[in-house]
Chains A and B, each alone.
Chain A
């Protein structure tokens, strides 16, 4: 990111203003009982018990100082291990802009990292994680307090606080057990496929290890309670510890276990021997387990919050600009050291949870891309070549000769990179904030610009953009064909409020012409002041950028920014979410700052303020398909739904995957112009979901989505009778505002169907 990329002037969308703080409520719902219980415990400890409660910390353990040797060893291991990790990350290029927007980054680290907001998108995993995470935090604090009590002059573990301490220690131990239990259930008893996509021995060790730490912890405590607080005990120095069952009850879990021990009828010596053994096992397990931080995916405990801090603070729909592209030696990322170090850091943060792959439209359709495996393959490649690259970087030598395997082409195959729709579902779901899409596009850049390895059909699209200023081959239409029969179409001359940007698909693809015309009629009906550019429109470059031809994109973008400035464009209404995203999020990189609206947003505003009146009842059941670039990339989820609500006689049935979980139509990322490789087509999968709602129309607002549905419907519903019909939301509004033949507007009498 560069300074020019920052987009402080980005307009706030109405849809964003209405966002509800759902995540916050959920956090509160979870923490409230735990905090409340602890609070109750604290109050009752203070109010009900006036005691000199306390305990002899190492009453039954010889050489407890060995713990500090273990601690030193662990610290050394962690320092060494993370230094090794860090040397690998540092083979990457600098990551500009990380020190900007620190407050927002800190918020992300807290909200997404510690608050685990994305983890909770899978509710079960969210609860499990919060249990384990809160338990580890609290029990670490408990252990630290014990150490402070015993090995420093501080003394606070006595009296009321000691009882409260015993209580919350047991409470969070229990919470941790619940978390571990949930983890074990999912791993061994639930038919939960995605954690088995790349299951490793360490996964079992981590969870069993944690479970054993908690069990032995309770065991140690129970044994101590059994001997000291239930029976009374004489220390070696002759101190008499009196029995205090009333104290013991505060450690409510261990107390129950201690009472149960009583049934076994063990002698005090047996219990004491068990206590010693258990104590050492507990300590060694705990240190050993923390040592796993260096070797296993347990490192996500640290890397996830850090990666949340490193997460981009700008729009998710924006790809980075290659500055001074003509002076680059390598275009995009061809080898591991071409990534930024942040991109390499991300590889280490991956926990192989498979959430990305689970929602990937390519993987869902049996196509050769799994974001999780892509990240893991890159991680393995980094471990393979990173040390040598790092060494040569220091002592000299050709870094580009290190890899025995081509990273782009062999480690990550071409077809894997081409299968990406840039839909952002993986990025949206990733609980550790990995950004897969920019990483994939960086490698595409290398494929296209450095290697010139492009699928034939995508190559044609790129050549068309280069030669003809649009990506469509062999069009029979011109950019002004849609104007026929519409009367006078105003040309934008800088005096109007809005430029209505039709876009290549809106002007040159037959199916999309009625949408363009509908938007035009509705704009005219609403009384908005607008104009069009007609033949002067050219491709804004989005498909070129997503296909990896950043050079072509920059040429097209710079030209268009010039055109907009020359025409004094201030506000743009676009037909296409891709144009919308490019103008809104990416043109600021070229010093093009405009207020950009998608027609959905504009029309929603016009319906809400009454400048458009829905006169005709449509008597229709619809389902709404969120296009990726309006939804996930720009957060416009509510405007289209509010429109549907405002239209009389329209019923909305949501698909299972909707809003931020919406599934791509299959055309994004330049896949509109590629042959699909794999078992199924993405648009067939999505069409099936739309058909499954039983709706008679599937409504979207992206020319690509509509084409993909048009293509998918006959495949899913071979019978013409009763087929679901794909429409743009503007066509739906047109039918309600202007009537079926588009003539009922301008105050014409309502001819309700």
Chain B
């Protein structure tokens, strides 16, 4: 069996709020100085789900794919250290930027290029923009069935059995392979890598594929192919006013307060 884990590198969600800056002119987040980007947590959990299946079966191969910049190698290495077999970085100027659609399109092209993939594991959403669309888009573009927000995944007799998290419990669905599944945090924390594996991962070479390698027209991917345009990115200004109620006695002040609140249509 051959599984693909899609991994995204994101700005560290644990960045202190005071260090969070944005460039309003270009609608971009300014990376906080001295804080390295990390693997999106849900993607680590997706890798954990795939690894558990391979471990239980005693065989299988896991390829981790990331669409991103050079630095995303670190995210790929992290999944390799957990136990994945191969890593592919989709990196090319033409592939940069874009939206959920172009991401799904690029990943789908890479998965088609791999050819023999039985299942794709994605995080339920990337922990930076929280769109949660790439997994489903990928399934659509590949023409495969999909299940989202899974807390447990098993593969038996050529079918994927997925426990999906619902608001008041969970449901179990079965999907024929190949299929796409997105993993939720209920699956549990990703494993801590063994040192042997960390060192093995460090020695592995990560393959790089460009838009051309994937046979994608540069105008259909990255910024050029994006259909969703970000109009404005800003940090909302939160402010407050304090008004001290006049009045001789507490009673008077309370009356004043009630009147003011009523005028402001709060009461």
Contact = CB atoms under 8 A, between A and B. Distances in A.
Interface stretch (B89-97, B109-117, B189-197, B218-226): B189-197
Nearest to B37: A467
Nearest to A549: B195
Interface residues of B, number: 20
A326 B189 CA distance: 27
A467 B33 contact: no
Interface stretch (B12-20, B65-73, B235-243, B254-262): B12-20
B14 A475 contact: yes
Nearest to A477: B16
A535 B191 CA distance: 30
A451 B38 CA distance: 24
Contact of A468 (B18, B36, B195, B198): B36
Chain A interface, DSSP helix/strand/loop, else mixed? helix
A100 interface: no
A442 to B, nearest CB: 14
Interface stretch (A44-52, A202-210, A452-460, A701-709): A452-460
A475 B198 contact: no
B36 A535 contact: no
A41 B197 CA distance: 74
Contacts of B35: 468
Contact of B192 (A452, A477, A479, A551): A452
A309 interface: no
Contacts of B193: 452
B19 to A, nearest CB: 5
A452 B191 contact: yes
Interface string B222-250: 00000000000000000000000000000
A476 interface: yes
A331 B38 contact: no
B18 A452 contact: no
B22 interface: no
Contacts of A331: 195
A450 B195 CA distance: 6
B189 A459 contact: yes
Interface in B147-192: 189, 191-192
Nearest to B198: A551
Contacts of B189: 456, 459
Nearest to A467: B38
B199 A326 contact: yes
Given A456-B189, A467-B36, A478-B19, A451 B194 contact: yes
Q: What bracket does the count of chain A residues touching chain B fall in?
A: 20 to 34
A475 B16 contact: yes
Contacts of B58: none
Contacts of B38: 467
Nearest to A472: B14
Given A456-B189, A481-B18, A450 B36 contact: no
A469 to B, nearest CB: 8
Contacts of A33: none
Nearest to A473: B14
A474 interface: yes
A326 B193 CA distance: 15
B9 to A, nearest CB: 11
A481 B189 CA distance: 31
Interface in B90-125: none
B195 A449 contact: yes
A468 B196 CA distance: 22
A481 B16 CA distance: 10
Given A456-B189, A535-B33, A450 B196 contact: yes
A462 interface: yes
Nearest to B195: A449
Report whether over half of chain B's contact residues are helix, strand or loop; otherwise say mixed.
loop
Given A467-B38, A535-B33, A535-B34, A462 B192 contact: yes
A478 B18 contact: yes
Interface in A473-524: 473-479, 481
A463 B12 CA distance: 12
Contacts of A449: 194-195
Nearest to A479: B34
A463 B195 CA distance: 13
Interface in A318-343: 326, 331
B189 to A, nearest CB: 6
A144 B238 CA distance: 93
A595 to B, nearest CB: 27
Interface string B8-33: 00001010111100000000000001
Contacts of B198: 551
Nearest to A458: B192
Q: Most A CB atoms within 10 A — which of B16, B33, B189?
A: B16
A535 B32 CA distance: 11
Contacts of B36: 467-468
B192 A459 contact: yes
B50 to A, nearest CB: 17
Interface string A22-40: 0000000000000000000
A477 B18 CA distance: 7
Residue among B33, B189, B192, B196 with max Cβ neighbours from chain A (10 Å): B192
A449, A464, A478, A479, most chain B CB atoms within 10 A:
A478
Contacts of A478: 16, 18-19
Contacts of B33: 535
Given A468-B35, A468-B36, A476 B16 contact: yes
Contacts of B194: 449-452
Nearest to B32: A478
A448 B198 CA distance: 12
Given A452-B194, A454-B192, A462-B192, A476 B18 contact: yes
Interface in B25-65: 33-36, 38
Nearest to B74: A467
B222 to A, nearest CB: 27
Contacts of B14: 464, 468, 473-475
B80 to A, nearest CB: 14
A657 B36 CA distance: 44
Given A474-B14, A535-B33, A551 B19 contact: no
Given A450-B195, A452-B192, A468 B16 contact: no
A478 B192 CA distance: 26
A281 B3 CA distance: 80
A121 B199 CA distance: 47
Nearest to B36: A467
Contacts of B12: 467-468
Contacts of B196: 450
Contacts of A452: 191-194
Contacts of B199: 326
Interface string B196-225: 101100000000000000000000000000
Nearest to A462: B192
B38 to A, nearest CB: 5
Nearest to A326: B199
A331 B195 CA distance: 8
A331 B38 CA distance: 27
Contacts of A535: 33-34
Nearest to B199: A326
A474 B16 CA distance: 7
A296 B194 CA distance: 41
B151 to A, nearest CB: 17
B124 to A, nearest CB: 20
A545 to B, nearest CB: 14
B199 to A, nearest CB: 6
Nearest to A550: B195
A462 B196 CA distance: 17
11 contacts: A449-B194, A450-B195, A451-B194, A452-B194, A468-B14, A468-B36, A476-B16, A476-B18, A477-B18, A536-B34, A551-B198
Q: Which 6 A-B pairs have the closest CB atoms?
A: A449-B195, A452-B194, A452-B192, A459-B192, A535-B34, A454-B192
Given A331-B195, A467-B38, A474-B14, 15 more contacts: A449-B195, A450-B196, A452-B194, A456-B189, A459-B192, A462-B192, A468-B14, A468-B35, A473-B14, A476-B16, A476-B17, A478-B18, A478-B19, A479-B34, A536-B34
